[in-house]
Amino acid sequence: MPPERFPPDDPREWLGRARSNLAHAEDDRPEVAREDLCFDAQQAAEKAIKAMLVREKVQLPYIHDLAQLLRLVQDTGIEPPAEAWEAEELAIFATTLRYPSVQEVSQEDYERAIAISRTVVEWAEEQLGNPHA
């Protein structure tokens, strides 16, 4: 069953899309490039962070820099946990490794990306008071 949809200015829509990206990222099948799975992990974290910014009525910048997005969340008075700052590591998946590259993503890199992404999504769910809508 597809998730309930909301208008784009509703943080629940952003969080729903974050969950969707995370579900994609966690679907590790041999025929899917790890780079693509890690891109979805990065997107999940980005959309989860942006869900909080939407709730706080912050104009969303068109960036993939998760550290900069977390600083914007901080500016609203919400302090990201230390683990959320690890999301900076995901930037390479939204830039360099988003397209064909000679650099390989190891299983360990993939598992780390999933763990970081899951942490950020779960934190956003807690912040938004909407754990599993």
- 4 vs 29, residue with greater confidence: 29
Phi and psi at 21, nearest 5°, equal: -60, -40
Reduced to 3 states (helix: H, G, I; strand: E, B; else coil), residue 9 is coil
Q: What is the mean pLDDT of residues 87-115?
A: 87
pLDDT band at 104 (very low <50, low <70, confident <90, very high): confident
Whether the Cβ atoms of residue 22 and residue 118 lie closer than 8 Å to each other? yes
- Confidence at residue 132, expressed as pLDDT on a 0 to 100 scale: 45
Q: What is the DSSP letter of 57?
A: T
pLDDT band at 102 (very low <50, low <70, confident <90, very high): low
- Confidence at residue 99, expressed as pLDDT on a 0 to 100 scale: 67
Amino acid at 130: N
Instruction: Please tell me whether the overall predicted TM-score, pTM, comes out greater than 0.85 for this model.
Output: yes
Could you give all domains of the chain from N- to C-terminal order, each with its CATH number?
Answer: 11-128 (1.20.120.330)
What share of residues in the chain are helix, strand, coil (percent, to 5)? 65, 0, 35
Q: What is the mean pLDDT of residues 71-84?
A: 96
Length of the chain: 133
- Confidence at residue 12, expressed as pLDDT on a 0 to 100 scale: 95
Whether the Cβ atoms of residue 41 and residue 27 lie closer than 8 Å to each other? no
Cβ within 8 Å of residue 52, ≥6 positions away: 11, 73, 76, 78, 124, 127, 128
Q: Alpha-carbon distance 97 to 43, whole Å?
A: 13
- Confidence at residue 133, expressed as pLDDT on a 0 to 100 scale: 43
Encode pLDDT of 21-74 as tens digits. Answer: 999 999 999 999 999 999 999 999 999 999 999 999 999 999 989 999 999 999
Whether the Cβ atoms of residue 36 and residue 81 lie closer than 8 Å to each other? no
